[in-house]
Amino acid sequence: MTTTDDAKRSKFLALVLRHDPGRIGIELDEGGWTSVPALLAACAAHGVPISAEALRALVERSDKQRFALSPDGTRIRASQGHSVPVDLGLPVVTPPERLFHGTVEAALAGIRERGLLRGSRHDVHLSSDPATAARVGARRGRPVVLAVRAAEMAAVGHAFRRADNGVWLVEHVPPEFVELPAPTPCPTDPHSDSPHAPPA
């Protein structure tokens, strides 16, 4: 497969394994898993043919590790990001002192007021390093990277989990735990504070 083929198939798999398995007539179990043979047959029937070997290569080559195969290779699931009801069975773990979240400037006002919300997903997604968070934010425009005081959150009872691909998951990040950039001042009349400004 070419890189373009990989990208198209990866996006299609993300759609059906995270959000809309019924689109191709597959079912996910409570842990988000589905049968690899059933998935491949359904993909082929819906115009997205992929072999078992190509699927394994796509999973192994993905720098985002979006998908996970079972040890015997017979089942597959999305690592995180579901909007359909699943329980990934991830244990609660202690986070590092800080985690990071990539966003864009247009979202900052809402974050200042409400914190980081999970939206249609099960959890807020956080990265362990600023560079990864910046890549996530760049999908929506010029990225802004926010630091989250994760250890402080855990200390007051917020439960953190870590997906198979290293993404950190938490239900909500209240605004008091988000380190936001200073608000941009509103433009003002450059003469307003000048002693030489003309009288009103």
All domains of the chain in start order, with CATH: 3-78 (1.10.10.970), 99-179 (3.20.170.30)
Tens of pLDDT, residue by residue over 110-144, are: 999 999 998 878 899 999 999 999 998 998 899 99
pTM greater than 0.75:
no
Read off the tokens for 184: 């941009």
Q: How far apart are CA 194 and CA 64, in angstroms?
A: 54
Three-state SS letters, 170-196 = ECCECHHHEECCCCCCCCCCCCCCCCC
Count of CB atoms situated within 10 Å of the CB of 108: 17
Instruction: Encode pLDDT of 77-106 as tens digits.
Output: 998 888 888 888 899 999 999 999 999 999
Which residue(s) pair with 35 in the sheet?
Answer: 75
